[in-house]
Structure 1
């Protein structure tokens, strides 16, 4: 589909390997071209300015997630049909309600002791290894806890982590990554629909609550599996990449790690700044439901737009001259759009902050200095931005580590 006005336009491939590794210089160029830029290669508009992305996210009646999140019709139909991500209006309210109950601040408050205990145990275990892979640590921490809360066996964790990233690859264009991810993404949906049932999930778990919601008539039985996918994708990957981004930046900014360790900087502020700077989900699509304008660009009903969370987090018109600089504690850092905004804002945002706070605090408590221990490797994904490996080392606070490893009276 050709837009009414083709300018400004660009022939760049937003999903090229080199762009995925470091998309921010390209985002700067596109923002400079105008509020909305037509991407010829992808047949869609790119919107990357903070205020423009925020406005579009809020205007769900104009920019709809229905049939618009992914960049291929097959992915929108096969992997997103029936999910809360693409639901619209009252249907979205209905599907989001059980997730909101489980992920509300009150529910998260009750999880804080469990999160802190698990974080402390893993922090001591990994710090005493010497050099370790932060991605491995954070994945074990985040995914292990989400799988437990879902009520699934721990043995399912590795499979769900690998398949979750594949689902995100499916949201991009029909490129090589998309094609390679298709079998894994299909396997996840097959697993959820055939191996997860009322009898296989733990009583009192999130999944058990979804089945109860179906029994109560709040949702349909057919809604349960699509809702599960919200946990097995966005509930894990965004938090894993967000915390590893925070650790990467802290390893290169020793003064902020020292402030975190001494209590002069909050772990939540570190996490919020890290995902502002490096949004775990770089963007999602939307479909225009009516003719509209973004700046001077005329967008027709039916055209697709790409809302770039990654670009909005680096927009100097919102974040100032130091938009590309890691400055935890900056005013308004939590107003980023990395976790979405408006009706489709991430339901699991409170859990993500609680998990990040728990692990960052535990590492800072038990380790005196955080440093790189090798060359990190990017995890290339059509949508996600993060690390495949992130080698770090933390100098143990020997007194605290030794105390933490002493058996309690019940363990002895």
Structure 2
């Protein structure tokens, strides 16, 4: 269905007409055809594997410093969610080119976007004011004068100048960077660390061979897709298995359950196995034309963080009750306390007691 953009179109990502019409309209997430290609092109150029490769050493250095900081301040323990949030959130905000003083304000609005993609209810109603304020907020803070010229948002304005799309498309496209790149990456990295802490044999495998770090991230995403589902609108009557679906109906794509499908993953579908050969076949990043453009950056951040932890910690283990993040569409954790057994004194910091 994700590959069939003829029958299943992106006008119906959210479950309410209000969200689809007022919040998602004009964004790359809800566009199809030539318009989607034009809008996505600038995203793809900035987020391609070749473009983000040059960030490798910077991300590895940053990951090492953050791991030292979080473990040291916690005397050998840390919150995997806080560590992941600082790694992924700050990286994305900086690459976007936004002034640092607006980072917290934008960050608190992004989770609300996913809440309003779900059903109308108390959580939806509470999130609606924040979600509808994303584009006006960006209109006020994202201008040619405030964004860094060599940033992702600077690239959007260069594309506008080059006639690739209209000025009116710049802010909705900027919102795609803000919304799609942060919460999902933070939740995915947090889940990978949590799974490794709960599976010491898998952690030992990773420490013995850090090239497994990327597969560990894929396996965590397979088991706990940060985006559990998105909608599609049926453009033409279509048959799915033994069922006919009429034009105008909406379908909900369950990325989360797809990652646990025993027809695809076998009887061990619920097991966390960083050596699973087909782990990267999950749908947490989507598929087809709307597959997440930020995959290379998300994986690079994840590899850097897991490699930094593996070089500093001989063992990870749960250190108390984790707290769920509650959201209509997102699945993950707001707090995951982890105990770390260290390889030795942290460089440039006090010895944990």
Pairing partner for 2:266 from 313, 320, 331:
320
Bigger CA drift: 96-105 or 360-369?
A: 360-369
The 5 Å alignment of 1:182-193 reads 182-193=128-139
Match of 1:275 in 2: 221
Instruction: Tell me the TM-score normalised to structure 1 length.
Output: 0.82
Pairing partner for 1:293 from 239, 242, 247:
239
Q: Quick one: distance in 2 between partners of 1:87 and 1:97?
A: 13
Q: Quick one: distance in 1 between partners of 2:227 and 2:101?
A: 26
Q: Quick one: distance in 2 between partners of 1:257 and 1:100?
A: 33
Match of 1:99 in 2: 43
Deviation at 1:264, TM superposition (A): 5.9
The alpha-carbon distance between structure 1 residues 394 and 157, as it changes in their structure 2 partners (threshold 3 A), is farther
Match of 1:85 in 2: 29
2:23 aligned with 1:76: no
Deviation at 1:328, TM superposition (A): 1.2
**SS of 2:55 mapped into structure 1:** helix
| Cα pair 1:127 1:396 within 8 Å, conserved | no
Q: Quick one: distance in 1 between partners of 2:64 and 2:165?
A: 38
Deviation at 1:405, TM superposition (A): 5.2
Match of 2:105 in 1: 159
Q: Quick one: distance in 2 between partners of 1:134 and 1:227?
A: 30
Deviation at 1:255, TM superposition (A): 1.1
Instruction: Tell me the TM-score normalised to structure 2 length.
Output: 0.96
**SS of 1:306 mapped into structure 2:** strand
| Cα pair 1:256 1:265 within 8 Å, conserved | no
**SS of 1:384 mapped into structure 2:** coil
Match of 1:64 in 2: 9
Deviation at 1:215, TM superposition (A): 0.5
Note the residue ranges of structure 2 that are not aligned, 5 or more in a row: none
Q: String of CA shifts for 1:121-144, please: whole Å, max 9, x gaps.
A: 001111112322211111111010
Match of 2:55 in 1: 111
| Cα pair 2:52 2:296 within 8 Å, conserved | yes
The 5 Å alignment of 1:100-249 reads 100-128=44-72, 129-130=74-75, 131-249=77-195
**SS of 2:314 mapped into structure 1:** strand
Match of 1:256 in 2: 202
Deviation at 1:152, TM superposition (A): 1.0
Deviation at 1:265, TM superposition (A): 5.4
| Cα pair 2:97 2:152 within 8 Å, conserved | yes
Deviation at 1:398, TM superposition (A): 1.5
Deviation at 1:112, TM superposition (A): 0.7
Alignment RMSD? 1.3
| Cα pair 2:210 2:307 within 8 Å, conserved | no
2:304 aligned with 1:358: yes
Deviation at 1:157, TM superposition (A): 2.3
Q: Quick one: distance in 2 between partners of 1:101 and 1:354?
A: 16
Q: Quick one: distance in 1 between partners of 2:102 and 2:61?
A: 22
| Cα pair 1:265 1:329 within 8 Å, conserved | no
Deviation at 1:193, TM superposition (A): 1.2
| Cα pair 2:157 2:170 within 8 Å, conserved | yes
Q: String of CA shifts for 1:180-215, please: whole Å, max 9, x gaps.
A: 101211232221011211100112111111011101
Q: How many residues align?
A: 348
Deviation at 1:97, TM superposition (A): 0.2
